[in-house]
Structure 1
Amino acid sequence: MSSVVFAQFSDSHLYGDKSAMHFGQNVYQNLLRVLAQIGEDGDMQFAIFSGDLSQDHSKQSYRNFVQAVEESKINIPIYWLAGNHDSLRYMENLLTHRLICHDKDIEIQGLQLILLNSKSDTPAGFVRPTELERLAHVSKPTLVMMHHHAIPVNYFIDRHGLLNREEFWHAVNIQDKVIGVACGHIHRGITIAPGVQNKAPLYGCPATSIQFDPEFDGVKALPEGPAYRKFCFQNTQLTTEIKRLSFDGDRVS
């Protein structure tokens, strides 16, 4: 059986000004570099952006995302999820590009991906019942994707985690074909193995903007470059690795 290869990238935190620096890094250029590298990988079939596109909430930041897609020369479909920083209305209306897809269900070569909306009225996440009901239709190996993390990671971002994680994991755990849950939000490329609460592994995605320092009680950037996650699905098995780019910014606390 042929494989399905795709990328997850996340948390670009763009500004309306492309030259703006975020904790010492030019986040527009970081996004551009990540998109270009994904596009240069000849195995990649599509990519999924898992939220927190904007840092300053400006319409121009969303337009800059589209411009980065164009400028990077990437040529694969890009799906998206909203993060707590984002405006769903802006994403739906301003992410207009031939490669940007608004579908939230993807089926390809025996793999299903379900993109859940976890955006709430606060920075924390909440998956509404209508979204959870979508998990009842799992019929093949499925990767669930959303912005917020559904398991604590033991640093400050847990204050903005998924509020109804018990309900979420109940909906996931009763579906034996869910092979993983992938999130953004935590700005770290970590994997949490299946456990008592979660029958499926949780894959955290590093950010294209900055990587959080888990030892600091608040936002502090590690001296690391942008990164993304690469997935490969083959013979009903999902494998994944983190792809890191060089660090070109200044170290800023």
Structure 2
Amino acid sequence: MKFRARVSSMNRFKLLQITDCHLGSSPRQTLLGMDTDQSLHDVLLAAKANEEPDMIVVSGDVSGDAGALSYARFLTIIDEYFPSVPLAWLPGNHDNPEHMLSVGQHPIELSHCVEGWHFIFLDSRIPRQEGGRLGPNELARLERELSAHPTRPTAVFLHHQPVAVGCEWLDQYVVEDAERFFEVLDRHSQVKLVSWGHVHQNFYCERKGVALMATPSTCIQFLPNSDEFQLDTQMPGYRTYELFDDGNFKTQVRRSEEKNYFIDMAATGY
């Protein structure tokens, strides 16, 4: 499904978002039975065949075990498919930011301005907890970033959902200070979209003219609108954006080719 499909004659910037890869420190580690190496390769293969991104954003849970080797392995795999494409990433609740910093290559981590747009990457982790919170430092940084570039169309990325997505078991992890987060956004009309991971499913809504969306995981998928933990049979996926320098954009979710992965569909949690 495509959103924001208004035609624009302005220059465009193509962004690829992947999330929740849960990659292990050694090959062929699994999450509820799914080989997360294989599913990541499948998603990137589909993206390689269909997209020509100018930049890649990874919105957290890059790793499944937070090991330093998992991040090095992740960058090596990305390099197989998109060796010259700039990469940005932010930490999720399963990540270790210090280990992310320890790898030899250093993706973009805080913010980036390119082709008329401003990208802001926030850390919504609460150490050793599933839930999310931005806290005063990240909220203050968000305010500074937005104030510094008041005329640039802006996309904000974080890991945890700032709004409920309709899954009762997941929505206990909505960003704790989401109200303060939106108070900051409401002061800055250049914000066009907010995107996150964590919920392992496609989601889209709008609030005060700002698009709010979640991107499917590159591995297991959670069933939308479920009160209790339940997996979905949808394939792993990614999200694309075409960003125009007049502030308009198009976004679309695409998935890897149909495949019979081994997944423990009877699982009651992970």
On whether the aligned pair clears a TM of 0.5, the verdict is yes
Does residue 245 of structure 1 match 2:256? yes
Closer, same or farther in 2 for the Cα pair 1:158/1:42, shift >3 Å? closer
Specify the alignment match of 2:73 in structure 1.
Answer: 64
Is residue 131 from structure 1 mapped to residue 138 from structure 2 by the alignment? yes
Q: How many residues align?
A: 247
Structure 2 residue runs of 5 or longer lacking an equivalent are 1-9, 266-270
CA contact (8 A) 1:83 1:119 kept: yes
SS at match of 2:176: coil
Q: 1:246 to 1:24 in 2, by over 3 A?
A: farther
Q: Which residue pairs with 1:109 in the alignment?
A: 115
Q: State the secondary structure of the residue aligned to 2:221.
A: coil
Q: Counterpart amino acid of 1:231? A: Y
Given that 1:40 and 1:74 are in contact with CA atoms closer than 8 Å, whether structure 2 keeps it comes out as: no
- State how 1:6-45 maps to structure 2 within 5 Å: 6-41=15-50, 43-45=52-54
Distance 2:222 2:141 in 1: 32
Note the residue ranges of structure 1 that are not aligned, 5 or more in a row. Answer: none
Q: Does 1:148 align with 2:148?
A: no
The answer to whether structure 1 residue 189 and structure 2 residue 202 are counterparts is: yes
- 1:66-105 aligned at under 5 Å gives the runs 66-94=75-103, 96-97=104-105, 100-105=106-111
For 2:217, which of 207, 217, 220 is the aligned residue? 207
Point out the more displaced range, 237-246 or 186-195: 186-195
Matched with 2:3 is none
Give the Cα separation in 2 of the matches to 1:74 and 1:218. 40
Question: Cα 1:74–1:41, aligned 2, differ >3 Å: closer, same or farther?
Answer: farther
* Aligned residue number for residue 12 of structure 2: 3
Aligned residue number for residue 124 of structure 2: 118
Q: Which residue of 2 aligns with 1:173?
A: 186
Cα distance, 1:64–1:217 mapped onto 2, change above 3 Å: farther
AA in 2 matched with 1:130: N
Q: CA deviation at 1:217?
A: 4.5
Summarize the Cα distance change of 1:154–1:73 in structure 2 as closer, same or farther, 3 Å threshold. Answer: closer
Alignment of 1:40-51 (within 5 A): 40-41=49-50, 43-51=52-60
3-state DSSP class of the match of 1:168? helix
Q: Among 230, 239, 242, which residue is 1:229 paired with?
A: 239
Q: Normalising by the residue count of structure 1, what TM-score does the alignment of the two structures yield?
A: 0.89
Distance 1:120 1:5, change over 3 A: same
User: In 2, Cα distance between the equivalents of 1:66 and 1:88?
Assistant: 15
Q: Secondary structure at the match of 2:113?
A: strand
Deviates further, 64-73 or 226-235? 64-73
Identity percentage of aligned residues: 26
* Per-residue deviation, 1:5: 0.7
Q: Which amino acid aligns with 1:133?
A: A
Partner secondary structure for residue 201 of structure 1 = strand
Query: Retained in 2: the 8 A contact 1:112–1:143?
Result: yes
Contact 1:32-1:71 at 8 Å conserved across structures? no
Asked if the contact 2:166–2:226 (Cα under 8 Å) also holds between the matched residues in 1, the reply is no
Return the alpha-carbon distance in structure 2 between the equivalents of residues 8 and 149 of structure 1: 15
SS in 1 for 2:76: helix
Deviation at 1:131, TM superposition (A): 1.7
Structure 1 residues 177-186 or 59-68, which shifts more? 59-68
Does 2:176 align with 1:163? yes
C-alpha deviation, 1:231, in angstroms: 0.5
Q: Is the CA contact 1:173–1:200 (under 8 Å) kept in the aligned structure 2? A: no
Give CA deviations for 1:79-106 in whole Å, capped at 9, x if unaligned.
1000011101011112x33xx5234211
Q: Hey, what's the Cα distance between the residues in 2 that align with 1:13 and 1:217?
A: 23
